[in-house]
Structure 1
């Protein structure tokens, strides 16, 4: 799937002044809630410039996005008091990236009875995730 700047849903948000979905912003990026959240408060940290890969960001963009990540976490701590977080980037189609505009997922995690969270992001490859139980 290829998006040009004008067809990119994240660029449409970045290009709008005071877009209603933007929770925080700085010179290089902004924070929104994920449209298809994994958990309550699931947020995306997105650069304003249309760039597909994290590895194509400038140092200033990377630093600005990490500042927004910290701000978003503090906001989620206040609003939802999660027990933990998953932080992830799907970089490229083979990694599951569906919108080719880099974005960082900040996913609040909550203690859930009967749920074993071990393995975390390793579950993107389910057959490799459980390395501790001896199951193959």
Structure 2
């Protein structure tokens, strides 16, 4: 369940995104530049319909989301990016702060962190370096 203090559709930044953040769109989904990018090129893929969970998306919405994810990935690959993290924060305990489904496409570059192994596992730092645990 998403935190009730998270804005509803009327106050949602993804339902009415700033025009300068729009990267590309489809009838059912948008790609937006992340307002607080982790790395250059970090973008968000959001459905137009205000839903909180990937599991609430229709098959057509999921298709649109993943088509835009691929389109943004290809745009970044043309800029020389070859590696990515793709993530969804599903619910408050998982870190979702805006109750509107959004997929993060985070470009990764060699050397952007000291130890990239483990990727998203670093949300639990004491368990991330599984290769060091015997």
- Taking structure 2 as the reference length, what is the TM-score of the superposition? 0.91
The aligned length equals: 130
After TM superposition, what 4+ stretches of structure 1 lie above 4 angstroms from structure 2? none
Q: 2:109 & 2:37 partners in 1: Cα distance?
A: 14
- The runs of 5 or more residues in structure 2 that have no matched partner are none
One of 8, 15, 20 as aligned partner of 1:11? 15
Q: Are residue 66 (structure 1) and residue 84 (structure 2) matched?
A: no
1:54 aligned partner: 54
Question: Which one scores higher on RCO, CA 8 angstroms, separation ≥ 6?
Answer: 2
Report Cα offsets for 1:14-73 as digits up to 9, x if no partner: xx8xx2321110011011111111101000001000001111000100010000000000
- The runs of 5 or more residues in structure 1 that have no matched partner are none
Q: Are residue 88 (structure 1) and residue 105 (structure 2) matched?
A: no
Q: 1:93 & 1:4 partners in 2: Cα distance?
A: 15
What RMSD in Å do the two structures reach over aligned CA positions? 1.6
